[in-house]
Amino acid sequence: MQKRILIVSSCLAMALADVVLPKQDPKDKSREFDWKVKDGVLSAYGRGTVFKDDNHKVDAYALLNKNLLDKNQPTSFGGRVDYKSLNSNAGASVKALNSGPYGTSVGAEGTYNFFKDRTSSFDVGAGYQQRFGGMFGRSEPNFNAFVRGTF
């Protein structure tokens, strides 16, 4: 039940974003969709900027993997929504991935960027992941913190 609520609310949020949020110039909305069939597996991927202004940016991603040859392989589908505050260098993301009999994985992450230039960056953040349902039942929540640097 929780995964249905999560998936439906994510879809509604993305669908209503164009209605509720102020309209933007179409050239500011970058969108991408790609699909391929390789070794009998259909893979589809979509990405788009839902909202962007001088201070905030919201991107949404969706994916689907379906094995067309082996009906016993589960169909996997999911999505992610990323938020970034352009003034404060802070960001957050939520994600969900449903893999049929293996359950639904959900996660959230927050980051803060202390330093960034053309070739290097320094970030700190914290995250949460958990799997619900599936053959192995509900997993314990996994909380983490990280320091990430690129030089």
What pLDDT, in 10s, does the model give residues 41-57?
Answer: 999 999 999 999 889 99
The number of folded domains in the chain is 1
CB 89 within 8 A of CB 116: yes
Mean pLDDT per segment of 10 residues, for the chain of length 151 residues? 52 51 55 88 92 92 92 91 90 94 94 89 94 87 93 84
Rounded to 5°, angle at Cα 133 from 141 and 2 = 80
Other Cβ atoms within 10 Å of 38 Cβ, number: 7
Residue-range definition of the domain harbouring residue 90:
2-150
The reported pLDDT for the residue numbered 71 is 85
The reported pLDDT for the residue numbered 129 is 95
Report the candidate in 32, 45, 41 with the shortest Cα–Cα distance to residue 97.
45
The reported pLDDT for the residue numbered 20 is 47
